[in-house]
Structure 1
Amino acid sequence: MSSQEIFRTFIPLGILILCISVFISGCVGTQWTAADWLEKGNQYANEGMYKSAVDAYNQSLQLDSRNSKVYTYRGVALEHMGSYDAAMNDFEQALSINPNESGAWQGKAATYIDTNEYRQAVKAADRAIELAKNPADKAENAYLLRGFALNRLEDYDTALQAFDKAIEIDPKRLDLWQNKAYSLTKLGRFVEVLKCYEVMTGIEPNNAEIWSKKGEIHLALGQINEANEAFSIAKNLIKSN
C-alpha cells in the first residue's frame, strides 16, 4: 500500500475520532448544574409554567439538597398551583436550612392568605419584613402581604401603614396603590382614594379599568363633570383596544 493510500485510509478514521472526542467533551461541558436547573425553574415560573418550574427545581435539589432558595422557589410554584400543604412543607424545609430566609416567610404568608389564615399570615409577613436586608429580599412584597391580610381582618388603618411602607420602596408598582385604595375606600376616605387613582392613571395611562374606577370615585364625591371625563377616557381606551 502506497503512502498516499495510507493517508487516504487513515484521514477519515482520524476525523471520526476527532468528532467523537468533540461530541463527548461537548456533552460533559454542557452537563447541567444545580444552579442551571434553578435558573431554568425561575424562567418557567416567570412565564407562569409552574409545573415545569417544579420539575426543574426537583432536578436542582437532586444535585444540591441543601439550597434553601430552591425549596423557597419550589414552594412558591406549588402555592401558585394550589398545592398549599406541599408548598408549606417546602417553606418549612427552607427555614430548617436557613431560618433567616425572608422569601420562605413571605411564601408562608401568601399560603396562609390562600387558606384564610390571616392572623398567621400577618405573623409570617412580619418575620419576612424583619429579615429583609437588601432589595433582593423584596420587602415590598412582605409589606403587601401584611397589608392584604390586615384588610381581610378589617384592620384597614394598620393595613394602610403596610401599603405606605411598600410604596416607599416601589412607588411605581400598581398593585400597591390598588390595595391602598381599597383600604381607604373601606374607611370612606374618598378624597385620598382619588389621589391613589390619579397616581395609578399616571403609572398606566392606557388602563381603561383604572379610568373607570376613577370615574366612580369622582361620582362618590359628587364630581359629575370629572366623572364623565374619566368614563369617556375609559370608553375610548376600550374602543381603541
Structure 2
Amino acid sequence: MPILLFGSRHLDLITDKKTTTIRKLWKKPLTQGDRLHCYWNLVSKEREKLFEAEVTEVDVIQFSDLIKNDDLAREEGFKDASELETEFRKMYPDTTDESLFQVIRFHKLPMDEWEGAKINEKAMVTKRADILFDIGKFDKSVMCYAAALKIDPDDVYLLNRKGDNLSRLGKFHEALECYDQALQIEPDNEYVWNNKAIALLNSNRPEDALKASNRAMDINDENVLVLYWRGFIFEMLGRFNDALQCYDKLLNLNPHDLDAWNAKGNLLSQIDRAEEALECYDRSLELCLEDESDASTWNRKGNALMELNRFEEAVECYQKALSLEHDNEIFLSNKGVALMELDRFEDAAECFRKVLILNPDNEDAQILMDECLENL
C-alpha cells in the first residue's frame, strides 16, 4: 500500500488541481494502476488523510534532466527548476546527476471507491483553511474555503469565512457576494451582517455600511462586535456623538474591552477632547499594562499628552512604547519631537538618527534632525 506524504505547499491537492508528484525512485517503483494513500505530513508529526488515488502514469527521469524542466518543477509546486533543485538537494542529500526520480501522475478516487478508512473531507479542508486563515495566509486559505464550498455550497460558516478572506485580500466585491449568499440562507445572522458592513465600509460606502449595521443591530443590539464597528462607521460619516454612544454602550456591556477604550480615546483625541482621551488610554493601560501589544497605547497616550503640552510626560510614554518595540520608527520620531519641544536637541537628534538607520528614506526624520543640529 504505497503512502505519499504531502506538505502544506501542495494546497492544489485540495482544489484537485494537483495530479502529479515527483519522488526519488523507490526500490519497488510505482506502476500504472497502483493505489495511493495520500496524507498531510504535519509538523506535529500527526498525519491526516487527504484521499486515495490511482496511478495513471509513471515516468522515470534522471536528476540532470529534471533540474532543467521548469514545467515539471511548476507542477510540483516550485517557481522553476532552479528552486526545485535547491529543495530536492536538501531533501535527498545523496542525489547525483544520475539519480533517478519518478514523475507520478494520479487520479483522485471517489470516497466510495476507497480501500481504507473514509474521512470527513469537508471538515479536513475546513480545518486546513482555518489554520491558514489564523496565520494570515489569506490567499491560500481562500482557496481551501472555496474547495470546502464545492462539497457544501450552503454552509454559512464557510461562506462567511471565505468573505473574510476576500476582504483581507482587498476583494470587497467578491466578499460581498459571499456575505449576500450567506444571508440568503441565514437572514438573521448578525455576524454576517456585521462583516458585510465592514466590507462596505472598506469599499468606501459608509452609508451602505450603516444600513447593514442597522440590520445587525435589529437582530441583537448588544453584540459588542457590532457596536465596535458601528462606532467606526459613524466616525467615517462624521457622526462623532453617535460613535461615542456606541463605544459607551459597548464599554457598559464589557468594561474590559481594550480595543473599545482605545477607539474611544482615539475619537476623543480627534475631536480635541484630549483630557478625556487620556482617561481612556489610562484605563486601557491599567487593564493589560504588561502586554507587548500595548506599545501603541503608550504611543497614543504620548500623543494626547503632546496636545496638552505635557512634554515630559509624553517623553516617558514614548520611552515605554519603545521599551516594548525598540525599532519602531514612529515611536522614535514622536519621542524626538517631544524632546525638541523641551529644547533637548541633542537627545532629539539621536532619536532621528536611529530612525534614519532604520529607514534612510524617511525625509521627515532627516529634516527634523537637521533642525536639531542647527540648534545645538
- Length-normalised TM-score, structure 1: 0.77
Shift of 1:187: 2.5
| Runs of 5+ consecutive residues of structure 1 not aligned to the other structure | 1-19
Shift of 1:193: 0.3
2:224 aligned with 1:140, yes or no?
yes
Taking a change above 3 Å as real, the CA distance of residues 63 and 237 of structure 1, as seen in their structure-2 partners, is closer
Map 1:1-241 to 2 at 5 A.
28-132=116-220, 139-202=223-286, 203-205=288-290, 206=292, 207-239=294-326
Report the Cα distance in structure 1 between the residues aligned to 2:253 and 2:165, rounded to whole angstroms: 25
Shift of 1:34: 2.4
Q: Report the secondary structure of 1:180's partner residue.
A: helix
Shift of 1:222: 4.0
Taking a change above 3 Å as real, the CA distance of residues 147 and 216 of structure 1, as seen in their structure-2 partners, is same
For the 8 Å contact 2:269–2:304, the answer to whether it is kept is no
Shift of 1:204: 4.4
Taking a change above 3 Å as real, the CA distance of residues 67 and 157 of structure 1, as seen in their structure-2 partners, is same
Taking a change above 3 Å as real, the CA distance of residues 148 and 31 of structure 1, as seen in their structure-2 partners, is same
| Runs of 5+ consecutive residues of structure 2 not aligned to the other structure | 1-36, 38-50, 53-112, 329-376
Taking a change above 3 Å as real, the CA distance of residues 27 and 64 of structure 1, as seen in their structure-2 partners, is farther
The structure carrying a bigger strand percent of its residues is 2
Q: Percent same amino acid at aligned positions?
A: 26
Shift of 1:92: 0.8
Report which stretch shifted further, 214-223 or 195-204: 214-223
Shift of 1:72: 1.2
For the 8 Å contact 2:159–2:179, the answer to whether it is kept is yes
**Residue type matched to 1:183 in 2?**
L
- Length-normalised TM-score, structure 2: 0.51
Report which stretch shifted further, 24-33 or 95-104: 24-33
Report the Cα distance in structure 2 between the residues aligned to 1:220 and 1:79, rounded to whole angstroms: 35
Report which stretch shifted further, 191-200 or 55-64: 55-64
Q: Deviations over 1:55-108 (max 9, x none)?
A: 221222222122222111111111111111111111111111111122221121
Shift of 1:36: 3.4
Taking a change above 3 Å as real, the CA distance of residues 27 and 223 of structure 1, as seen in their structure-2 partners, is farther
Report the Cα distance in structure 2 between the residues aligned to 1:141 and 1:128, rounded to whole angstroms: 10
Report the Cα distance in structure 1 between the residues aligned to 2:302 and 2:183, rounded to whole angstroms: 46
For the 8 Å contact 2:232–2:243, the answer to whether it is kept is yes
Shift of 1:130: 2.8
Paired position in structure 2 for 1:3: none
CA RMSD of superposed structures (Å): 2.9
**Residue type matched to 1:54 in 2?**
V
